Amino acid sequence: MIENAISGGSINYPAGWFFTGQNIWITGGNYMPIAHAEQVIVEGFTFIRLYCADGEGETEALISPAIGANLCRVTHNGLKVIDFDPGRLSQRDHTGCFLMYPFPGRMKDNRYTVNGQTYSHPYNISPKAYMHGVVRDAVFRVSLLESGRGQAVLTCFADFAHGSRLYELFPFENRFSVTYTLSPGRIRLTFTVEAKEPTPFGLAAHPYFTRLGGDGGVSVQVPAATRVLLGPDKLATGETVPAEGPYDLRQGRTLSGPPLDEVYTGREPGKKAVLRYAGIPFRTELDAGPSFSHFVVFTPPGESYFCVENQTCPPDAFNLHARGLRAHLLVADGVFTDWIEYAFVPEG
């Protein structure tokens, strides 16, 4: 259940506009985007549905504030670009596009150190690894739901307040919020950390992209020249090497090559990661603000999904920092904000 009441927005258009019956408003032969925001039940789950349409097509997002503010499904022109597994979602597990805060990736021995103080966690994956932060299964509260003039917007938040479960896991008093803004052919995730004390953190989104076009028909292009070396436990070692051979994704590579589970850094300024699909008339572009200096690319064989993740830091960043290694940790002392955007761009 979502903790607080949700009220939808209304759409007001000038006199002379009319509805075509295909969710498109037109006048004088021109298309005007429309948008809706509402609560729906899909496959037994309660979601906030954001919908937007214009003359190029329709885009829809399903978000679960009650399960970590997970962006569970994104559909563009009838094709599911990001999707969830109902069994995993019912277990509040890794699926859809879940948020990773305050530490993306794995954390060595379920411990992290800040300012000389070591904190420990119960494991959430295996006795040797705490993975992907603490908000994946948190209940977020909705603070804004509105639509109109070509976009639909949802904001929800989770508080790390004294006495709360989240504060026990990460004892820094702060509010973590995400705003999903859906407009024609794109969705932007804007993250905000409002800290009552200096709060170190890392941040990422973990989308499960569908393999539209099959393994040989999906191409992944990542604008990063450097790999972060990982140990056998998939924890960052603190070393980096050039991305070469099958690890070099700057020109694009299909999923039919060797499987990847890699961390990249050295993001080329102004460039986006790009996903292309054989026979699909659009590509997916992943853009992000300046804090997102890393990518994780995960292409497990035999699965229906693959992952390209914008991240602010490598795995185990807190412990790398404590060892005096460069870890790209961020610190919110007041208000921090940055964003990730997925855009669906026509091809050809």
pLDDT single digits (tens) 164-176 = 999 988 999 999 9
Q: Any idea which residue has 């994956």 for tokens?
A: 125
Residue 148: both structure tokens together: 């109109």
Q: CATH for 18-346, among 2.70.98.10, 2.40.50.140, 3.40.50.620, 3.30.70.270?
A: 2.70.98.10
The answer to whether 115 and 198 have CB atoms below 8 angstroms apart is no
- The mean pLDDT value for 14-38 works out to 53
CA separation for the pair 263, 260 (Å, rounded): 9
pLDDT at 1 over 80: no
pLDDT at 10 over 80: no
Using a 10 angstrom Cβ sphere, with 0-12 exposed, 13-18 middle and 19 or more buried, the burial of residue 282 is buried
Question: pTM of the prediction?
Answer: 0.89
pLDDT single digits (tens) 274-302 = 999 999 999 999 999 999 999 999 999 99
Would you list the domain boundaries of the chain?
18-346
Single out the residue of 46, 77, 84, 39 nearest to residue 60, CA to CA.
77
- The mean pLDDT value for 112-122 works out to 81
Residues 6+ apart with CB under 8 A from 290: 338
Q: How many angstroms separate the most distant Cα atoms in the chain? A: 66
- What pLDDT score does 16 carry? 34
Q: How confident is the model at residue 124 (pLDDT cuts 50, 70, 90)?
A: low
- What pLDDT score does 6 carry? 35
pLDDT single digits (tens) 150-203 = 999 999 999 999 999 999 889 999 999 999 999 999 999 999 999 999 999 999
- What pLDDT score does 122 carry? 64
pLDDT at 125 over 80: no
Q: Is the dihedral angle over the CA atoms 196, 200, 205, 206 positive or is it negative?
A: negative
CA separation for the pair 224, 252 (Å, rounded): 11
Type of residue at 316: D
